[in-house]
Structure 1
Amino acid sequence: MTDRTILDLYRHDVDAPRGNHYSHWTPSGRRSLTTGEFLRRTCALADAFGALGVRPGDRVMLLSDDRPEWHMVDLAVLDLHAVDVPVYGTLTPAQIAYQVNDSGAKAAVAENAEQMRKFLSVRDACPSLEHLIQIEGPREPGVLDFEELATAERGGSEQRFWDRAAAIDERSLMTIIYTSGTTGEPKGVMLNHHNLVTNVLHTVRRVEGSRSDLALEFLPLCHVLERMVSYCYMWYSTSKAYCSVVHVGDLIGSIRPTIFTGVPRFYEKVQQKILDAVAAAPPVKRALFDWAHGVGREAALRRIAGRELSGTLGARHRLADRLVLSKVREGLGGRLRFCITGGAEMPLHVAEFFHSLGIWVVEGYGLTETSPVISANGAQPGSLRLGTTGRPLDNVEVKLAEDGELLVRGPSVMMGYWNKPEATAEVLDSEGWFRTGDIAEIDDDGFLLIVDRKKDIIVTAGGKNVAPQPIESLLKRSPYVDVAVLIGDRRPYVTALISPNFDELERWAEANRVVAADRADLIEQPRTRQLFGEIVDTINAGLARYEQIKRFRLLPIPLSIDGGHLTPTLKVKRRAVEGTFAHLIDHMYAESG
């Protein structure tokens, strides 16, 4: 069978039937589905969507945590030759309304009553939205019950499902994935079946999975990396466990996966939890861990280089693994063969830490616009180089522009941005080369190293894209804010440096009897901190959770052209600001909580 479409990849799952093929884990327990149960519900759902009027090319929005129903909706929509539009649960109602209206979504599926309220609150402003469907929980009038749609008896549904699947044009639009741009207005990345399927078929050559694996899905499936990897799991015919990213820390030990994907921030948190436990242990155990970790690191570097463990090192490593390293791995279930990471840069020391424990972490690089993988390390000795994102996939061409920007061409490059031909033309030339916006280097062995981001988009350690300028503009609407600079690229959360409008602030201080010796003293006054805290809180109320400013610092001096922090056109020189005030930035991220 030639794999042309996502439904062809799913067919591999169906052709390897088993019990407990799909399991959904929550703090209250586990629910499992057989291969046949999942298929029957997906087929019934496709028929139900068709009966609601979903036609080829129509858009269906999906807002849910990771669970089997996410893939049921995905596959059912694609089977109808329609287009799904997955979105993050952290979006605000206003952000959802924008994406509904921009995509022209005809129907929306939400996980529960809390998420459905977002759609209900903006429904009157979304004329294209005809149907609302809720997966679980109490429903408002007019909201359809997912369970009823997925269990409705319609004879011949499976045959209709596969007949429709066989007729899909692999070059047809299958999904719109919204990503932030420099203007802050989300851009809908258009991908077709061919984009994603070719990415899957070349990615699986780097890492080997099988039916005997248990893949854990907790990174949100609306994230293009987890979504593409989930299609790899279908191709492998692995069993799958789903859980929310909120609960994965508590559940992973019970789930006992052999494969999972996580953004770098997840690995950083796991590392810190392990190190905190070591720090709290008695001195003898701390010393034993340090010894075992050192042996593990030495052994890992040999394995990565493709060299065998033998002699004294082999014996020491077997002892270290038995006494310490295997027990640490038990915290992640004890069965991991390898893990995948992407969405942001993996700090080198974090990668080395996990390899030292005997957990092979495969880092890759890509963008939503490239479906997403451009390059990836491998799970075989000699195919991985720490500190890089691996070699480009075999079907991807890469080259560096004169300024070092990475350009990419290949079958996984997007069709374009939905409703934005000008934005498409800015990044995709007539020869098919896509401008990634990242500065890169390629070493003599072909491994790709991402050096810096060319534009100002912040990519947090959690892999979320944040456009800083619109948020900075919101802050500057306050008369007390002169300049604001958001920080957060490759960091766990967003923070801000705020240069006050001291003329206005000093007038406020006089009117409110806030006494200070000078400007440096004024910004440290509790009431001044409260004033700016309220400004930040007001802005945060209209932002998605991952965009919100978690901490801020007030600068004691105005940012200026003469000071080297502003260009002649009064644009912020971000690198200069971050360099001058590095101590304030470091302090914001050093704080606990």
Structure 2
Amino acid sequence: MLTEIAQKPIGSFKDHHSIRSTADIVDGHLKTYSNRPAIRYDTGTTYATVGFDAYLGHLHATIRAIKARGLEQKVFATLCNNRLEWDVTALAVFYTANILFPLDTKLNDTELKHLLSINPPDYILVSLAQVKRLRTILDELSITPHVFVADLCPVFEDAHVPSVELQQGELSFKHVLATADSSIEIVASPQLKITDTILGHYPTSGTTTLPKIAQITHGNIVAQVNETVDIINLRNNEDLLNFNSYTHVVTLTEFLLTKTRGFTVTYFTREPDDDAVLESEIKKLKRLGVRIKVFMATPKFWLYLLKEVLEEMKNTPTLHALYKYIESFEKNHKLYDIGTLDKAKLAAMKTALCNKLGGYFRYGISSSAKLDGAIVEIFGKLGITIIDVYHATECSGIISRNRLNDVAPNTCGRMSSLLQYRLTDQRQVPHIHAALGVLEVKGPTVMHSYLGEERNPRGSGDGYFRTGDLCWFDERGYLHVLGREAELIRWDDGSYIAPQHLSNLLARNIYVKDALVTRLRPLDNFLSVFIYPDYTRIHKDEMWEKDIETGVSEHMALRTRLEQAIDFAQSVAGITPALSKNTIYILAHPLERTPTDNIKYFFELNRLHLATSI
């Protein structure tokens, strides 16, 4: 039964803390959570709730539908946002020892065609919003999988999408579940007793090349869930708000551990940095009585949230001094003690931020690229802990992480206890006072292989997997990740430039929506800056309006603001080259990003010629 909010009182429940198999979740854990809310999803107008009892009913029907077709080790692709149909398909695929192949709806056509061509699925679950696109690509590739159209629940993803007439080979997911033979016994596949059974085909991020496909085993998944099962802690009346797509491997861990422990997850499938969207959706949830305690998001979201906070301070006269203080938080390469500010104003800002996020928000989990330490510090002083984690698709999720009681800003925390690790190709470089090297890891969470390649092709003779990330460890044992070596720019003095980090620093400015930094020509002794301005914030800024009224040209008013963003990034980046202000390039469109919100340099560097200059 689907309801807007669980109406029955929520009783006590058993909180499980480990699994021996993914089958444990289906056969044991979910049953113990009864009428607790399992997930909430956006209908387009409100949020509907599915209790664990109803959730389990849909899951059993999905398992029976798969078993009736006699399927095992078949590839099940998905092309939809987070929703109930995805959940039950993923768990049923694991339970029956088939292979989950999640495809992000933000993949461009080149990437999607590439992935489908190297791994043609046997079945694919697709949202109504993606049906026509999928048909075109399948026809072009001459691939004919069985297609399930997700239509069990009305969701925001499909809002305003006209209905389509199903074609040959396409089935209604609702019909598939409704006609499943209820006499089929719910028994896990014997293949789950084998740790090397492949259960996942997860695409890599694809920042510098087209994505590969990592083959994730049952043993990988079980080890990762058990290692990170304590990363989230909720009471039975609190929710986790997930902004990440389940095509992102670190959210596979979240997906399974929340089902293991009986936690409620609310799916946020809109773009949170669209104007007023986040606050509007939080208000909807608050009116329904939902208490959001944890956010799970990428660094791009935390950047956006910080800018929202700064803009509110900037436009509130009594908080303007606090705004100026935080704005210069990192100058001179040190953090100032925000606690020395007016305690009443700081308390007011804490309260305002808490209320803005629903009134119960206490901590966040940041996955994907490293989060700037200053952002962690600022939110910490405003009463919010952000846990930064470092992951790799090839390691089936988390490699290292900070913890609620052990947060070290500017680091990725401590290494997973499951992994042996080492730094190879060590070198000394300017600006880093420790040995820098490529991180290699070995352990039960490391993938089986890339699809189509021999086992551990990037590994060494003794079984270590080469991540490709340049890292170092400080004297406390915390891991610092400089970045993917293939993405870094090696400067003339031997230092490394991390373009993704510079992009994040530039985007800290409230007038910058997105940014890219690169060395355009090999002989340039500076870095060129490409910016996509945040025109919405710019045009509603009172100072912008005053500048235009007093005769300042829009061109000059824009340049002045972007120069401020460049000056800030330069002042805190700690890099050898200058970020050039002689020519500032304006991007014609927002940057394409991976499901983990990293820039797709493979595409973007080839279309910088579309930018204009000021």
Q: Does 1:18 align with 2:53?
A: no
| Contact 2:215–2:449 (CA under 8 A) maintained in structure 1 | yes
Question: Does the residue aligned with 1:21 lie in a helix, a strand or coil?
Answer: strand
Question: Does the residue aligned with 1:120 lie in a helix, a strand or coil?
Answer: helix
Distance in 2, matches of 1:408 and 1:339, equals 27
Q: 1:69-106: CA deviations, max 9, x gaps?
A: 21111011112210010011022344323222312310
1:12-411 aligned at under 5 Å gives the runs 12-52=29-69, 55-112=71-128, 114-126=129-141, 129-136=144-151, 137-142=163-168, 143-157=170-184, 160-164=185-189, 168-180=193-205, 184-246=209-271, 249=278, 250-255=280-285, 256-281=291-316, 283-287=317-321, 323-380=348-405, 383-403=406-426, 404-411=437-444
Q: Report deviation, 1:223.
A: 0.7
Question: Does the residue aligned with 1:402 lie in a helix, a strand or coil?
Answer: strand
Distance in 1, matches of 2:133 and 2:213, equals 20
Q: Report deviation, 1:185.
A: 3.2
- Residue 241 of structure 2 aligns with an amino acid whose one-letter code is L
Question: Does the residue aligned with 1:258 lie in a helix, a strand or coil?
Answer: strand
| Contact 2:319–2:345 (CA under 8 A) maintained in structure 1 | no
- Residue 130 of structure 2 aligns with an amino acid whose one-letter code is Q
Q: Does 1:452 align with 2:483?
A: yes
Distance in 1, matches of 2:583 and 2:299, equals 20
Distance in 1, matches of 2:80 and 2:368, equals 20
| Contact 2:239–2:266 (CA under 8 A) maintained in structure 1 | yes
Larger-gyration structure (1/2): 1
- Residue 64 of structure 1 aligns with an amino acid whose one-letter code is C
Q: 1:139-196: CA deviations, max 9, x gaps?
A: 4323211111233353245xx3344489553321011111255872321001112112
1:518 aligned partner: none
Question: Does the residue aligned with 1:174 lie in a helix, a strand or coil?
Answer: strand
Q: Report deviation, 1:290.
A: 7.2
Q: Report deviation, 1:286.
A: 2.7
2:503 aligned partner: 491
Unaligned runs of 5+ in 1: 296-300, 304-312, 459-485, 501-576
Q: 1:530-565: CA deviations, max 9, x gaps?
A: xxxxxxxxxxxxxxxxxxxxxxxxxxxxxxxxxxxx
Q: 1:396-424: CA deviations, max 9, x gaps?
A: 122111321111111111111001339x4
Q: Does 1:428 align with 2:451?
A: no
Distance in 1, matches of 2:587 and 2:370, equals 17
Question: Does the residue aligned with 2:86 lie in a helix, a strand or coil?
Answer: helix
Q: Closer, same or farther in 2 for the Cα pair 1:22/1:206, shift >3 Å?
A: closer
- Residue 480 of structure 2 aligns with an amino acid whose one-letter code is L
Greater Cα shift, 441-450 or 41-50: 41-50
- Residue 78 of structure 2 aligns with an amino acid whose one-letter code is L
| Contact 2:42–2:267 (CA under 8 A) maintained in structure 1 | yes
- Residue 75 of structure 1 aligns with an amino acid whose one-letter code is L
Greater Cα shift, 387-396 or 428-437: 428-437
Q: Does 1:416 align with 2:449?
A: yes
**Root mean square deviation, CA, Å:** 3.8
- Residue 258 of structure 2 aligns with an amino acid whose one-letter code is Y
Question: Does the residue aligned with 1:401 lie in a helix, a strand or coil?
Answer: strand
Unaligned runs of 5+ in 2: 1-15, 152-162, 286-290, 330-334, 427-436, 490-497, 505-513, 522-574, 592-614
1:530 aligned partner: none
Q: Closer, same or farther in 2 for the Cα pair 1:153/1:177, shift >3 Å?
A: closer
- Residue 220 of structure 1 aligns with an amino acid whose one-letter code is S
| Contact 1:211–1:236 (CA under 8 A) maintained in structure 2 | no
Q: Closer, same or farther in 2 for the Cα pair 1:26/1:277, shift >3 Å?
A: farther
| Contact 2:374–2:409 (CA under 8 A) maintained in structure 1 | no
| Contact 2:68–2:181 (CA under 8 A) maintained in structure 1 | no
1:477-488 aligned at under 5 Å gives the runs none
Q: Closer, same or farther in 2 for the Cα pair 1:490/1:176, shift >3 Å?
A: farther
Distance in 1, matches of 2:477 and 2:293, equals 29
- Residue 420 of structure 1 aligns with an amino acid whose one-letter code is E
Q: Closer, same or farther in 2 for the Cα pair 1:455/1:153, shift >3 Å?
A: closer
Distance in 1, matches of 2:351 and 2:478, equals 31
TM-score by length of 1: 0.70
Q: 1:5-59: CA deviations, max 9, x gaps?
A: 3332454333212243321124411222121211111111222234445x21110
Q: Closer, same or farther in 2 for the Cα pair 1:257/1:138, shift >3 Å?
A: farther
| Contact 1:375–1:392 (CA under 8 A) maintained in structure 2 | yes
Q: Report deviation, 1:585.
A: 8.4
Distance in 1, matches of 2:208 and 2:476, equals 37
Distance in 2, matches of 1:162 and 1:220, equals 29
Distance in 2, matches of 1:206 and 1:180, equals 23
| Contact 1:209–1:236 (CA under 8 A) maintained in structure 2 | no
Distance in 1, matches of 2:242 and 2:502, equals 22
TM-score by length of 2: 0.68
2:527 aligned partner: none
1:503 aligned partner: none
- Residue 402 of structure 1 aligns with an amino acid whose one-letter code is D
| Contact 1:289–1:324 (CA under 8 A) maintained in structure 2 | no
Distance in 1, matches of 2:577 and 2:260, equals 47
Question: Does the residue aligned with 2:425 lie in a helix, a strand or coil?
Answer: coil
Q: Closer, same or farther in 2 for the Cα pair 1:90/1:314, shift >3 Å?
A: closer
Greater Cα shift, 210-219 or 392-401: 210-219
Runs of 4+ in 1 over 6 A off after TM superposition: 288-295, 313-316, 496-500, 589-593
Aligned residue-pair number = 468
| Contact 1:79–1:161 (CA under 8 A) maintained in structure 2 | no
Question: Does the residue aligned with 1:129 lie in a helix, a strand or coil?
Answer: coil
Q: 1:257-293: CA deviations, max 9, x gaps?
A: 1112111110000110111122112x22434777999
2:529 aligned partner: none
Distance in 1, matches of 2:381 and 2:417, equals 29
- Residue 48 of structure 1 aligns with an amino acid whose one-letter code is A
